[in-house]
Amino acid sequence: MNIGIDIMGGDYAPEEAIKGVISYLKSISDQEEDIHFVLIGNPDIAGPYLAALEQWEGSYTLIPSASVIGMHEHPTKALKEKQDSSIAIGFGLLQMGKIDAFIGAGNTGAMLVGAMYTVKAIPGVLRPTIASPIPKLNGRYNFLLDVGANADCKPEHLVQFAVMGSLYAKHVLDLDNPRVALLNLGEEEGKGNILAQATYPLLKQHSGINFTGNVEGRDLFLDNSDVIVCEGFTGNVALKIAESVYHIFAEQKKIQDPFLDQFNFEIYGGTPILGVNAPVLIGHGISNQPAFKSMIENAVKLVKSNFTQILHNHFAEKAEA
């Protein structure tokens, strides 16, 4: 298994990305995994940090890149003009099948554009989506999607998000018959805006998911569902509120609580893009070593589960039907 990592992406690149690789390698034995890391970055900048990987010399390859797409650059323009950037090279390797998954904590827009226009959407997928775990009081997570890739959606988009989220929960998170809910402003059928009202009956009649109805914002942290669906504008607001809970109470007020600890984004690392032809995970720009380690673990799970092929098979069957 070849895992590609943009080691130049993020506020603390390349040091924290390389530390994440080292942390992952320390956590496994040679017998457990056959994983090779393809690190993409500037050799001159990365060189001093790569020395720490000396004992795992055969476990990684450095692919040189000459430029970096900055956090505030226009994604499409930057990808076109910076073909020698770490992100562009990473997606090129993914498209050619030279890596099995690609991880990056750099420009989020560039990662999304690269995924959608390089490896492209799986046939039958109307819009790829990004998803994020939201902590529940019982120590588990709700899987929320979309959280920012699609600010405006149609009902059929949300139905596909529900299907992809349900398949991910089942095959990657090992949840049996995951419960799917629609994020709304009331529990009753018929509540909400036009999008929610039109989506509800489509989810209700869908035979491929375990739809349990509407959930409200207060249910995000409760065990009333496993997968929660909404359009990306609402999802991103909900995700940022969840992130602020940890920042305010754990980091600023120094309150110690196991539930609060679950809000630390570094525990789950990054968010997967569902619906594209290869595993891609997007990390937070402020990702440190634990976040990169978690992203690697999630990438390995995605590859091992053969999730991309599962989606291919699902949408191919729907097309034939």
Q: Could you read off the pLDDT of 6-44 as tens digits, one per residue?
A: 999 989 989 999 999 999 999 886 545 689 999 999 999
Fold annotation for 126-269 = Isopropylmalate Dehydrogenase (3.40.718)
Q: What are phi and psi of 274, to 5 degrees?
A: -95, 135
Please identify, in words, the CATH class of the domain defined by 1-122+275-305: alpha beta
Assign 19 to helix, strand or coil: helix
**Identical fold, 1-122+275-305 and 126-269:** yes
Query: Each residue of 79-108: pLDDT tens digit?
Result: 999 999 999 999 999 999 999 999 999 999
pLDDT bracket for residue 128 (50, 70, 90): very high
pLDDT bracket for residue 157 (50, 70, 90): very high
CA distances from 157 to 22, 165, 237, 253 (A): 39, 12, 19, 40
Q: What is the pTM of this model?
A: 0.91
Q: What is the mean pLDDT of the chain?
A: 92
Inter-residue contact 140 to 267 (CB < 8 Å) = no
Residue 206 has pLDDT above 70, yes or no: yes
Q: What is the mean predicted confidence (pLDDT) over 149-163?
A: 96
pLDDT bracket for residue 150 (50, 70, 90): very high
Torsion of CA 205, 173, 273, 106, to 10 degrees: 150
Q: Where are the domains of the chain?
A: 1-122+275-305, 126-269
pLDDT at 261: 86
CA distances from 174 to 21, 302, 312 (A): 25, 12, 19
